[in-house]
């Protein structure tokens, strides 16, 4: 696109409407600059920065508590699972023990029947010896060597011995499992208590965080309200002054015409020839003659407090480039909805050349944009969870600036 001619404000004429509009723009610039300088006394950047840092530390603490809480929950779940597993194993062991005891009882009964048979048909001395045994082991030992016990009797005796061993093993196993149940139950209870304690700490920290953020938002909202009110007040004063000045100039012109009895209405207009811009300062967009950078600032101020919405480009919600696009559209300049593309739409300028209405860009690659309003400050859609607000131009992440309206 060819460079556009640099425009000058027309010399004051009797057309009060044109005078008023031009003066309104000029006074708006002064009003915004004065507002920004005056606001330095109202803002408390150190206190707000400190509160933000404390909120961030608290957020990190919440994250750590959440991690510990997750670990405690896993401890509790593990202990519960092991407890259930042990209880199931104990139930199986109890069934095996009951069966082993029943088998032992049957085998013992069979063995006693064999002893009765011996009594009925055999030697009383042998029976006396059997009955005089001090323990079942002695009885079995003696029975094993008896010549009268048949091979069948030997199998009965062996079966009794095996069942007795199984009963002993199962009882010991069950006792250990019941002990394990107590251990896992205690561990589960301890883990549960740990969860409860961590949860309480988490909730308490969260309450503190919410209070901190609420306080910060209230302070910032109050500051933004002061800025907006002051901007509106000064803009209104500028409009009144412009109207008064227009009326005065019109009256002077009328008086001069009456004195000289001039019948023609002279309209003086100075037009500067097109000036070729530096080739490196190419203009990418069409800028109407009526567009004014001070008007851009004035329009932007009207949307202080609008919410941030990702991809938003209307007062119901803006993102950073959507806000810039919307404001410039109001003065007849069509910009793309992209901070990186917006950077190439105007004349790149240094930070020292900034004036109200210029665009300021941040990060590399560019990912944020705001509208410079003077005094080292900008108005922008600040980011997720925030709103359209006024802040100092960021220093650490500053990328560059461009001028859309010459």
Confidence class of residue 39 from pLDDT cuts 50, 70 and 90?
very low
Tally Cβ neighbours within 10 Å of residue 281. Answer: 14
- Domains observed in the chain: 17-237 (1.10.287.2610), 284-406 (3.90.1720.10)
pLDDT tens-digit series, residues 171-191: 898 889 888 888 878 877 887
Geometric angle at alpha carbon 289, from 287 and 291, rounded to 5°: 65
Confidence class of residue 128 from pLDDT cuts 50, 70 and 90?
low
* Structural contact between residues 294 and 26, judged by C-beta atoms closer than 8 angstroms: yes
- Predicted confidence at residue 127, as pLDDT, reads 59
Q: What's the rounded Cα separation, in Å, for the pair 171 and 173?
A: 5
For the four alpha carbons of 88, 94, 100 and 106, in that order, the dihedral sign comes to negative
Whether pLDDT at 148 is above 80: no
> In the chain, count of helices (H) and strands (E)?
8, 8
Nearest in space to 132 (alpha carbons), one of 148, 115, 108, 149:
115
Q: What's the rounded Cα separation, in Å, for the pair 90 and 42?
A: 74
pLDDT tens-digit series, residues 303-341: 999 999 999 999 999 999 999 999 999 999 999 999 999
* Structural contact between residues 158 and 164, judged by C-beta atoms closer than 8 angstroms: no
* Structural contact between residues 377 and 383, judged by C-beta atoms closer than 8 angstroms: no
- β 347-349/398-403 pair status: antiparallel
What is the 8-class DSSP label of residue 351? G
pLDDT tens-digit series, residues 219-275: 888 888 898 888 888 878 878 887 887 888 888 888 888 777 544 444 444 444 333
- Predicted confidence at residue 313, as pLDDT, reads 96
Backbone φ and ψ for 271, nearest 5 degrees, come out as: -120, 125
Q: What's the rounded Cα separation, in Å, for the pair 282 and 292?
A: 19
Task: Say what the pTM is.
Answer: 0.37
Nearest in space to 344 (alpha carbons), one of 331, 361, 329:
361
């Amino acid at each position: 696109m060819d460079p556009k001619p640099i425009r000058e404000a027309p010399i004051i004429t009797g057309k009060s409407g044109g005078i008023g509009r031009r003066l309104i723009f000029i006074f708006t610039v002064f009003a915004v600059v004065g507002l920004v300088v005056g606001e330095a006394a109202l803002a408390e950047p150190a206190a707000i920065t400190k509160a933000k840092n404390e909120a961030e530390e608290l957020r990190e603490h919440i994250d750590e508590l959440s991690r510990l809480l997750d670990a405690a929950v896993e401890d509790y779940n593990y202990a519960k699972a092991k407890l259930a597993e042990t209880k199931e194993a104990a139930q199986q062991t109890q069934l095996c023990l009951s069966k082993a005891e029943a088998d032992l009882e049957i085998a013992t009964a069979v063995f006693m029947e064999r002893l009765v048979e011996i009594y009925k048909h055999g030697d009383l001395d042998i029976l006396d010896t059997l009955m005089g045994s001090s323990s079942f082991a002695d009885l079995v030992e003696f029975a094993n060597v008896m010549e009268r016990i048949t091979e069948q009797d030997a199998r009965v005796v062996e079966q009794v011995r095996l069942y007795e061993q199984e009963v002993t093993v199962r009882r010991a196993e069950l006792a250990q499992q019941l002990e394990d149940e107590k251990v896992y139950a205690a561990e589960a209870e301890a883990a549960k208590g740990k969860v409860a304690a961590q949860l309480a700490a988490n909730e308490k920290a969260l309450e503190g965080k919410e209070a901190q953020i609420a306080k910060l938002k209230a302070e910032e909202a109050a500051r933004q309200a002061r800025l907006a009110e002051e901007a509106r007040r000064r803009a209104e004063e500028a409009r009144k002054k412009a109207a008064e000045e227009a009326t005065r100039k019109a009256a002077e012109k009328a008086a001069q015409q009456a004195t000289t009895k001039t019948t023609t209405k002279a309209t003086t207009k100075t037009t500067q020839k097109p000036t070729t811009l530096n080739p490196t300062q190419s203009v990418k967009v069409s800028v109407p003659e009526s567009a004014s950078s001070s008007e851009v600032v004035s329009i932007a101020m009207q949307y202080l407090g609008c919410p941030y919405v990702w991809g938003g480009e209307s007062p119901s919600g803006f993102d950073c480039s959507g806000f810039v696009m919307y404001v410039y559209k109001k003065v007849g300049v069509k910009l793309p909805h992209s901070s990186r593309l917006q950077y190439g739409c105007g004349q790149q300028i240094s930070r020292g050349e900034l004036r109200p209405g210029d665009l300021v860009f941040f990060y590399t690659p560019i990912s944020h944009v705001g509208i410079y309003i003077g005094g080292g400050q900008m108005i922008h859609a600040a980011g997720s969870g925030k709103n359209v607000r006024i802040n100092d131009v960021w220093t650490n992440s500053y990328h560059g600036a461009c001028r859309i309206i010459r």
